[in-house]
Each structure stands twice: as C-alpha cells, then as structure tokens.
C-alpha cells in the first residue's frame, strides 16, 4: 500500500506504477504498464485522489473501476489516448472524463506531464450540495468529448498546488479548498445537470411542495398533510412525487432532511451533537441517520464536522 501523500522521483517500478494507477487514478490494468524515467506525485483527500506522472508511459488497456470517475488531463506535450476504438491526441490543457467501467489506452513521451483525478458519485453529490442542488432532482449526463482548460479554469495549476502541500496532511485548509475548486471545475466542464422538474407535468406543485417542506423540515412531514396542503388526494401525492422525483414522498423527505443536516453541519460555527442533530431533522435512529448520510456524501456526519472544525468544510 502506498502512502496517501508522496513525491516519488526517479525510476518507478511496474508494480509501483500499477499500484499508483489503481489507488490514485481509479484505473485497473490488465498487464503491467511500462514507464521510463517516471516521476510521480500523488495525494488522497477523502474519496478524491490525485496523481501526476512525468516521463514516458505506455499502457495496456486500462479500465475505470466501478463507481469511479477519472479525469485524464494532459499537462504538457501530447498524450495519446484511445477509447471505444477512437484514437485521439490530447495537447496541453485538454482533458477527458472516463466513466465507471470504461476502458482506455494511454501513451506519452519523456518529460511530458499527465494528471489524473479520481472520485465517486458521492463526491459529485457534495459538490452539487455546495451549489444548493439536490442530486435526486437532477439528471446528470457526462460530456464524452475533449474539454480544453485554460485561464482561470486551468485545473492543472490547482492540482499542482494541492500536490505541493502533501506534507500538510488531509485536513490542511488550503488543500481542501483547492480540492473543492477542482471538483467544481470538473462538474462545470463535464457534467450537465438538468432538472427533472422542467419536463414534468406535475411541475405546478413544485413551489407548494418546497414551501411545505421548508416550514416543516424540523417537524412532522407526512404525505397526507402535504396532500391536504396542496389540495390533492392521498393517491395523487404519490403519483406527483413519482413523476417529479422518481420516489415516494417518504423517501424524498428523508433525502431533503439529510441534505439539510449536511448543510447545517458544514456551515455552523459551533460544535453540534450528531445525535441531537439527527433528532432535530426527524430521525429517531441516529445510527440510521449516519448510514444514510454516508450513502449520499461518502462520509459520516462526524467526519464532515471534523473537517468543518479544522476549517475544511468544502470537501
């Protein structure tokens, strides 16, 4: 197992390179990759991993692990890239985003830079939450083409800055902010999020539903009371929620409450008792609350709180 933060200069063995690509690029490889004069820098913050390789590399087929997305960015020179039978060349500043299960082959020449950023869907959910977007009400589509970064969106500069602070540890405030910026740039450039509500015939009820939930978020939320509030039958309310959100009212209420708790944990200036917070948002079982929280955000509420208390709430 490699250290989570490192700056490895000089020759990198095939086994080490395979391990780096697995741990820090989310890539599994069918045969040992070959590299010449490789230098490697890598770092992991929570469930987001960063890897920078400099030198010459040729790989066999690489496969993105399940539940993982991998950004591939050319930092300098030209990077040969093949996926789905199509061969492309990425020049400096150009990147592609690989989806779970996708495969590719890579090659680049000596002295060239290649960056990898790997992350899970939970990381996307956290970035969406920072943008006040509930992941369950948007449909996400991944841009499969090549995206060019540059100017204020030069993602390579932020990755370099984050890697340069490896010795500061996981909860270094500046590193965590760089990590958040990188996540937002990836989401902005590669992920289109379209509200499902736009195409819904039940869209006329959205405002009233939001109003009801906002008024009762820390109190009693029930499908029957909501149906009465917006003037429909108990049966209709289930049809409306299936149309709008693809779930039952009860499932949606739980998601909204988990997101509200996440926002409070991430932004409040004082330490909160997680058990009391769970009760506040209608969860009678704090353990179940923590489990659902982790399903959405990839970490326990206590971990989010720890990051916030160390000044790193934007992970």
pLDDT of residue 243: 84
Q: DSSP for 56-79?
A: EEE-S-EEEPTT-EEEEEE-SSEE
| Boundary residue ending a domain (193, 224, 250) | 193
Name the one residue in this structure whose structure tokens are 């039978």.
85
pLDDT of residue 156: 92
* Domain shared by 158 and 282, yes or no: no
pLDDT of residue 141: 81
- Our count of domains for the chain comes to 2
> Rounded to an integer, what distance in angstroms lies between the CA atom of residue 204 and that of residue 254?
22
Q: What's the maximum distance between 2 C-alpha atoms anywhere in the chain? A: 70
Burial class (CB in 10 A: 0-12, 13-18, 19+), 109: middle
* Domain shared by 106 and 146, yes or no: yes
pLDDT of residue 81: 84
| Residue 104, SS3 per DSSP | strand
* Domain shared by 167 and 218, yes or no: no
* Domain shared by 268 and 243, yes or no: yes
User: What would the two tokens of residue 44 be?
Assistant: 């992991």
* Domain shared by 205 and 187, yes or no: no
pLDDT of residue 3: 46
* Domain shared by 169 and 209, yes or no: no
| Residue 200, SS3 per DSSP | coil
* Residue 233 main-chain phi, psi, to 5 deg: -80, 165
pLDDT of residue 192: 78
pLDDT-flagged residues of the chain (< 70):
1-12, 32, 110, 132, 135-139, 151-153, 170-171, 193-202, 268-270, 310-315
pLDDT of residue 315: 42
| Boundary residue ending a domain (174, 193, 212) | 193
* Domain shared by 267 and 300, yes or no: yes
CATH no. for residue 205? Answer: 1.10.10.60
Long-range contact pairs involving 77-81 (C-beta distance under 8 Å, separation at least 24): 77/108, 77/109, 77/111, 77/112, 77/113, 78/108, 78/109, 78/112, 79/106, 79/107, 79/108, 79/112, 79/114, 80/105, 80/106, 80/107, 80/108, 81/105, 81/106
* Domain shared by 150 and 249, yes or no: no
* Domain shared by 177 and 243, yes or no: no
Residue 314 inside a domain? The answer is no
Alpha helices in the chain (DSSP H): 14-25, 121-130, 155-163, 173-190, 206-216, 223-230, 234-245, 249-267, 274-280, 286-297, 301-309
**pTM, two decimal places:** 0.74
> Rounded to an integer, what distance in angstroms lies between the CA atom of residue 222 and that of residue 274?
24
Structural domain harbouring 106: 5-193
């Amino acid at each position: 197992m490699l250290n989570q933060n490192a700056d490895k200069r000089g020759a990198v063995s095939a086994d080490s390179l395979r391990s780096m690509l697995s741990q820090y690029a989310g890539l599994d490889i069918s045969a040992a990759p070959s590299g010449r004069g490789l230098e490697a820098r890598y770092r992991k913050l929570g469930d987001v991993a960063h890897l920078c390789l400099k030198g010459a590399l040729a790989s066999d087929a690489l496969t993105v692990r399940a539940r993982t997305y991998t950004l591939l960015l050319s930092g300098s020179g030209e990077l040969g890239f093949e996926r789905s039978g199509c061969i492309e060349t990425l020049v400096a500043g150009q990147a592609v985003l690989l989806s779970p299960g996708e495969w590719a082959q890579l090659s680049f020449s000596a002295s060239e830079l290649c960056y990898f950023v790997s992350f899970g869907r939970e990381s996307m959910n956290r970035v969406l939450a920072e943008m006040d977007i509930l992941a369950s009400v948007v449909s996400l589509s991944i841009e499969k083409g090549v995206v060019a970064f540059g100017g204020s969106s030069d993602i390579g500069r932020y990755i370099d800055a984050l890697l340069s602070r490896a010795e500061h540890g996981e909860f270094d405030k500046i590193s965590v902010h760089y990590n958040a910026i990188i996540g937002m740039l990836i989401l902005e450039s590669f992920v289109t999020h379209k509200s499902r509500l736009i195409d819904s015939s039940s869209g006329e009820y959205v405002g009233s539903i939001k109003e009801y939930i906002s008024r009762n978020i820390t109190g009693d939320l029930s499908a029957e009371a909501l149906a009465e509030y917006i003037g429909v039958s108990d049966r209709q309310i289930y049809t409306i929620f299936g149309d709008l959100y693809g779930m039952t009212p009860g499932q949606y209420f739980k998601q909204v409450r988990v997101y509200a708790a996440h926002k409070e944990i991430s932004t409040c200036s004082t330490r909160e008792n997680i058990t009391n917070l769970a009760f506040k948002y209608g969860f009678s079982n704090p353990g179940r609350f923590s489990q659902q929280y982790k399903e959405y955000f990839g970490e326990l509420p206590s971990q989010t709180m720890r990051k916030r208390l160390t000044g790193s709430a934007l992970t």
